[in-house]
Amino acid sequence: MTKRDHFGSKIGFILAAAGSAIGLGAIWKFPYMAGTNGGSVFLILFIISTLLIGLPILLAEFIIGRRGQADPVTSLKKQAPGKPWYLIGWSGLIFSAIILSFYSVVGGWILSYLVRSLFFKLEGGSDNYFSELFGSIIQNPWEVIIAQGAFMFLTIWIVQGGIKGGIERASKWMMPLLFVFFIALVIRSLTLDGAIDGLKFLFVPDWSYFTGKTILLALGQAFFSLSVGVAVMITYASYLSKEEKLGSSALNVALMNIGVSILAGLVIFPAVFALGYTPDQGPGLVFIILPAVFEQIPFGAFFMIIFFILLLFATLTSSISMLEIAVSIGIRSKYNRRRKASWVYGLIIFLVGIPSALSFGVLSDFHILGMTFFDFADFITSSFGLPLGALFISIFAGYKLTKLELSNELMLGDSLFNAWYLIVRYAAPLAIIVIFVQGIIKVFM
């Protein structure tokens, strides 16, 4: 039996946790959510939600994980023996696997676009070219399954290398490259004629969008983008030494997530406005609008390659964290089984994701509650898994653990600790319940 792995440095942990948080939530989902919900108003509400609600729950997951020094199930059994709190770990495993099953489908789409861009096959011939291309890709059963499989292969290959040798090493070079690439794209986008309109959209508030719906969507985006609620951060924090300060680590993760979200907006919105498009294109903003935008920019083919490499990096840093939950629970204390567990669980998740991959083609007529496999997997995790997981985590930290136990882990000043404690006990559960109820109403009413 080999010794349990740990992160080799604080920066390695922060980059891995930030990579899990950033992913598609910041680069793919944030721009289209902001584009359809008022731009700057959504950004302001997203930042407030992240710092006041998402960050405290993220910190609660760090505390639970670092105290347990084990996988989420074992960790919660240690801290609440004889109680059913360990079910939070099992639910995290189930919902993270479901997320990864359809997340890997989007990762496959990114690989399809990246390969085409590398061979300069993303050149439009008509106004509807990129829309038709996207449709042809997601409807092609062989391409989507092969691309999904390739993405899962990359994810498994990283995770089977362990914490230091796989996840931390990959995060240490992928995350800095992500920031460098983004800054290059931001500079190019801001130098376009008419880019100022995109900056106004992102930073000058139009308060007519300040509605209850926008507040709820921004709060939901904060949870989604921070990866809270599915035990990802419990798992990562379990590999953290007792000497590291959790407060500063959690704050750095939250700030990096906000920073990348803003950078994504600075890449997309100035270019969209400069070239005469509208920002309210929904989920197709990245796959349909952006290629069309890049095509009209000098050296656009080169910048398109950079963008899809960047998007692949961000997606992988999230996918490896979700597979790590299954691996950590599967191997428990038998750490020499990591390689085998990574491939077994990765293959199972790949197979579970095939119906989602085929949802836009051969299985497009099969629906659950009026939704395709892909949409249902997204709904069941976003509307049930994430909020319920975050709710029980906040309740566990706020009511099961004592103030002394929490204070010893956080090592914050009295005023900061008391503010965090009040949020975790009262404000966060209330906000999560509101999101949960709103999600239910959206489907069944």
pLDDT tens column, 196-249: 999 999 999 989 888 877 887 888 788 878 878 888 888 888 887 777 788 888
Helix (H, G, I), strand (E, B) or coil at 362: coil
Q: For the purposes of burial, counting CB atoms within 10 Å of the CB of 428, is it exposed (0-12), middle (13-18) or buried (19 or more)?
A: buried
Indicate the domain borders of the chain: 10-442
Q: What is the CATH number of domain 10-442?
A: 1.20.1740
Kindly report the average pLDDT of the chain as a whole number.
84
Alpha helices, DSSP H, located in 380-427 = 386-395, 403-410, 414-422
pLDDT tens column, 420-437: 999 999 988 988 888 778
Indicate if the alpha-carbon torsion angle 222, 225, 230, 233 is positive or negative. Answer: negative
Backbone angles phi, psi at 115, to 5 degrees: -60, -45
Residue 352 binned pLDDT confidence (cut-offs 50, 70, 90):
very high
Single pTM value for the model: 0.86
Backbone angles phi, psi at 352, to 5 degrees: -65, -30
What tokens were used for 45? 């509400």
Residue 442 confidence (pLDDT) above 70: no
The Cα–Cα gap between 57 and 52 comes to 9
For the chain, the first-to-last Cα distance in angstroms comes to 53
Q: Do 240 and 157 form a contact (C-beta atoms < 8 A)?
A: no
Q: How many CB atoms lie within 10 A of CB 326?
A: 25
Question: For a pLDDT cut of 90, what percent of the chain falls above it?
Answer: 26
Residues pairing with 368 in the sheet:
371
From 15, 438, 395, select the one nearest 219 (Cα to Cα). Answer: 438
Residues pairing with 371 in the sheet:
368
For residue 329, the surrounding DSSP H or E stretch is: helix 300-331
How far is CA 60 from each of CA 57, 135, 402, rounded to the nearest angstrom?
5, 41, 13
pLDDT tens column, 139-183: 999 999 999 999 999 999 888 876 555 566 666 777 777 778 778
Please identify which residue in the block is written with the tokens 């197979």. 351
Q: What is the DSSP letter of 5?
A: P
